[in-house]
Amino acid sequence: MVQARNDFLRKFFLVFIFVFHSQLAFSQANLYNFAFTSMQNMLSGKEQISFKKAIFLTENAFSDTPLDTTQFNKQIRLLITLCKGFHQTNPLANYSQKDKATVALWGAVFKVMTDTVTILLPNGEKAYHLPFTYDFEDYFGEQNWTKMFVIKLLATKKGNCHSLPYLYKILCEELGVSANLALAPNHIYIKHRAEKTGWYNTELTSAAFPIDAWLMASGYIHLSAIQNSVYMKALTDQESIALCLVDLAEGYKRKTNGQDTDFILKCCNTALQYFPNCVNALIVKAETLKQIFEKTQNKQTFNEVQDLYLQIHDLGYRQMPKEMYLNWLMELRTEKDKYLNKNLIEGQNKK
C-alpha cells in the first residue's frame, strides 16, 4: 500500500514536472504567436499601429521571465517627463518655420538621450540625468541577443544602433511627434524632415547629425540600393513594424536554435508583404530556406534560395564585414568636418 502510494506520488510528480515543463515551452511559443498576430493586425489595419507595443512584444517573447509592462511604461514615462521639462526650459532659437514646436521636441529627445541633463529639484539641489552611451561589446548581439533590446538599454543605459534609435522613436511617438527609422548596412538611424533643412539624419550612437555622404562612405551602399529604397529611405510606420517582425523572427531563431522554420518564414513573408524591399527579411528568409534545403535537398527550395540571393544582390545589398562597420561608425567622431551636417551645427552654435 505504501509502495503503491509512493509510486503514485512519483508518477504524479513526474506528470507534474512534465506538465509544468511543457507549459513553459508552450507559453513561449504562445508569446511568439501572440506577438506575431498582434503585429500582423497592426500591419493589416485591424489594430492601431504602436511601435512601442511591437517592441515590447518582441522583447517579451524572447525573454525567459515575463517582462513587467508597468515597469517598462514607467521608465518610458520618466524619460518623457524629462523631455517635456527640457523642451519647456530650452526654447529653440534661430528657428521660425511653422514646425518649430515639432523640431524643438526632436531636439529635446535628442538632448535627453545623448547629453547630461541637469534637473533642478524643488529643494534647490541639482540632479543629473546621464546620457545613454554606445555599448562596444557584442554590438551585433551575436553572443547575447538581448544586447539589441530597448529593455536592456533602459536597464544598463548602454545600447547599440538597434536599441538607441528604437527608444528614440518610441519617445518621439509618445510625445506626439513622428520619427522615421532608416536603414544602412547593419545599421539603423533616424531621419526627420524639418521645413528649414529638409530631410536630415540623426545618429544616436555618436550623438551627431551626419550628412548622407557619411552613410554612402561606408562603401557598402551600392547606388542601386538607394535607388531601390533599400537603404537610406525614411521608413513608414508600417515598414517599421515589418522590421520588428524580422527582429521577432531573429529572436525566435536563436531561441529554438533554428528548429522551427515555419514561424520564421511566416514572419519574413508577412514583413515582405508590407515592405517588399526589406533586405533584412530577405536575408533571414534566404538563410532559413538554405537551411531547409541542406536537410531536404529539395530542388525547388534550392531554386527559391538562388532567386532570393539574386534578388538581394540586384537590390544592391553588399555584405559589410564586422570590423569595417565599427571603423565606419567611428569615422563620424574622427572626421567631423567632413561628415557633419553644417546647416544644423551652425544653428546649434548660435544657440
Query: Which residues are near another protein by CB under 8 A?
Result: 182, 198-199, 211-213, 215-217, 219, 223, 226-229, 231-233, 338
CB of 210 to another protein, least distance (A): 10
Amino acid identity for residue 63 in this structure: S
CB nearer to another protein: give 80 or 194: 194
CB of 189 to another protein, least distance (A): 11
Output the CA angle 152-153-159, nearest 5 degrees. 115
CB of 211 to another protein, least distance (A): 5
What is the DSSP secondary-structure string of 304-320? HHHHHHHHHHHTTB---
CB of 32 to another protein, least distance (A): 34
CB of 223 to another protein, least distance (A): 5
Amino acid identity for residue 199 in this structure: W
CB nearer to another protein: give 64 or 337: 337
CB nearer to another protein: give 57 or 340: 340
Q: Which three cell numbers stand for residue 12?
A: 504524479
CB nearer to another protein: give 225 or 249: 225
The dihedral region occupied by 76, where left means phi > 0, alpha psi between -120 and 50, and beta the remainder, is alpha
3-state secondary structure of 151: helix
CB nearer to another protein: give 21 or 313: 313
Confirm if 96 and 79 have CB atoms less than 8 A apart: no
In the chain, where does DSSP find H-type helix? Answer: 2-44, 51-62, 69-89, 100-114, 150-156, 163-174, 212-217, 223-227, 237-255, 261-274, 279-296, 299-314, 322-334, 336-339, 342-350
CB nearer to another protein: give 79 or 190: 190
CA dist 104 and 175 (Å) reads 11
CB nearer to another protein: give 148 or 221: 221
CB of 203 to another protein, least distance (A): 14
Q: Give the CA count within 13 Å in the CB-facing half-sphere of 313.
A: 6
Looking up cell 499601429 gives 49
The strand order across the sheet containing 198-202 reads 180-184, 187-194, 198-202
CB of 216 to another protein, least distance (A): 5
